[in-house]
Amino acid sequence: MNFSKLAAYLDRFYAEKNIPGVGFAMYDKHRPVFEHYAGFSDVENGIKFGPDTIFRLYSATKVITCTALLQLYEAGLFKLGDPLYAYMPEFRSMTVRHIQNDGTVELRPAQTPITIEHLMSMTAGLGALITDGTMKAIEASGGEGRTVDVIRALAKEPLIFEPGTHFKYGCCHDVLGALIEVLSGKTLGAYCKENIFGRIGMRDTSFELTDEKRFAKLYNRFNGETHTAESIGESINLKPGRAFESGGGGLYSTVPDYILFAEALCNYGLAPNGERILQKETVNELRTNRLCPKAQQDFARFGGASKSGYSYGLGVRTLIDREDNNALSHNGEFGWDGARGCYVVIDPDAEIALFYAQQEGGSPWYRWHGTVRNYAYASVWED
């Protein structure tokens, strides 16, 4: 193994890509083989980005949410084909928005109920979480906005398409967070802490920021200029209510925490400390392609070049044509990324798991994720 080229590549991110700080960790053959940090979590004060740096996962949260739900699947609490309304009756009588030739909108009763598999595969027809209806529900609660209450209000919104017919990247996994609460009788955060984080040693992963002093500043680039104190700030509403826990993007974590989770899935559910969070058969369900041809076309348009060669499983991209992505990973490699640049690769067949982290708004991180992946694989093979 020789990680010198990967380390040198990551070390150049601040100077060449204007990324304040990055972190990286990797397992090979179920052993930790490389961990590296570069740049800053706080540029003005010279605080290095390191193993104790806390950052937002954004949509890398989704892989954890789907894993939590699949634990309940293994417990026999639901089947993938079950209608959502069996557990949340508000979703029984949905309507679908149809745009007429003259531009007017007609609402028609949905012909197919939303299933749990539709939610996990982003084919339910749901759009944005923040609507007039969900905001009114949050206001009516005095700003509390509990996860289940907000999602129940979402059920009043028309669907964009008939469930199962297309792919739309939206709030499906926020709905799954509420479903976990209904099935488990616990808040999403409490369930994940008890059944994933606490069990495998993810000490700094939570829906609440546990230590502001270790939190990486979120820099937003302006016109490509170097980040400044004036560019700091959140632009995505991940917590519309004080009590809302977003299964689609609300978790905070660290590099050492998330690589433990990634390695657990890479080892078919068995974490480095010996705790099992999923069975092998369930991990294979997670990474199985779920998209029909039309939905695959939607996914291709959504993902662009960075997702070429991939399809979508149960909350994860899954590699179906490695040559189409120039990927050194194997078909069946899976994972996801986050709005500010986090990126996880889980490859059970190659026995490789890696996690890359950054927290910066405005960078085209999707352009270098594949390069990070391929550098990492080549590093394992090089003497």
Asked if 375 and 5 count as a contact pair (C-beta separation under 8 A), the reply is: yes
> Does residue 83 surpass a pLDDT of 70?
yes
Is residue 234, in this structure, part of any structural domain at all? yes
Q: What's the mean pLDDT in 90-100?
A: 94
Q: Is the pLDDT of residue 222 over 80?
A: no
Asked if residue 84 is part of any domain, the answer here is yes
Residue 228 lies in a domain: yes
Give the whole-number percent of the chain exceeding pLDDT 70. 99
Helical axes 172-184 vs 147-154, angle rounded to 10°: 130
Same domain, 171 and 274: no
Asked if 177 and 244 touch (Cβ cutoff 8 Å), the reply is: no
Name the residue with higher pLDDT: 226 or 216: 216
Q: What is the pLDDT of residue 233?
A: 87
- Model confidence at 101, in pLDDT bands (50, 70, 90)? confident
The arithmetic mean of pLDDT across residues 94-115, rounded, is: 92
Q: Based on the fold, state whether residues 150 and 47 are members of the same structural domain.
A: no
pLDDT score recorded for residue 213: 95
Q: Is 95 strand, coil or helix?
A: strand
Among the three residues 131, 151, 184, which one is the final residue of a domain in this structure?
Answer: 184
Question: pLDDT, tens digit, for every residue of 171-212?
Answer: 999 999 999 999 999 999 999 999 999 999 999 999 999 999
Identify whether the C-beta of residue 172 lies closer than 8 Å to the C-beta of residue 184. Answer: no
Listing DSSP states for 113-173 in one string gives PPBHHHHHTT-S----S--HHHHHHHHHTTT---HHHHHHHHTTSPBSS-TTS----SSHH
Same domain, 153 and 231: no
Per-residue confidence band for 224, with pLDDT thresholds at 50, 70 and 90? low
Share of residues in the chain with pLDDT > 90 (%): 91
Let me know if residue 332 belongs to a domain.
yes
d(CA 362, CA 4): 28
Q: Residue 198 domain-assigned?
A: no
> Do 54 and 84 reside in the same domain of the chain?
no
Let me know if residue 151 belongs to a domain. Answer: yes
Residue 356 within a domain: yes
Q: Are residue 268 and residue 330 in the same domain, yes or no?
A: yes
pLDDT band at 223 (very low <50, low <70, confident <90, very high): low
Domain co-membership, 219 together with 312: yes
Q: What is the pLDDT of residue 227?
A: 76
Of all helices (H) and strands (E), which one includes residue 55?
strand 55-56
Give residue 128's pLDDT.
Answer: 94
Q: How many domains does the chain have?
A: 2
The model carries a pTM of: 0.96
CA atoms within 13 A on the CB side of 190: 11
270: closest CA among 257, 286, 283? Answer: 283
Domain with 113, as residue range(s), is: 73-184
Q: Would you say residue 45 lies in a domain? A: yes
How is residue 209 annotated by DSSP?
A: -
Q: What is the pLDDT of residues 265-286, one digit of tens each?
A: 999 999 999 999 999 999 999 9
pLDDT in tens, 303-338: 999 999 999 999 999 999 999 999 999 999 999 999
Two structure tokens written together for 132: 């007039």
For the segment 59-86, the average pLDDT, to the nearest whole number, is 98
Asked if residue 243 and residue 348 are part of one domain, the reply reads yes
**330 lies in the same domain as 217:** yes
Residues 85, 42 within the same domain: no
Quick one: 220 and 303 in the same domain? yes
Helix (H) or strand (E) holding 380: helix 369-381
Report pLDDT digits (tens) over 225-249. Answer: 777 777 888 888 899 999 999 999 9
Give the CATH number, domain containing residue 375.
Answer: 3.40.710.10
Query: How high does pLDDT run on average in the chain?
Result: 96
Same-domain status, 157 and 250 = no
Among 151, 184, 217, identify where a domain stops. Answer: 184
301 and 157 inside one domain: no
| β-bridge partners, 310 | 319
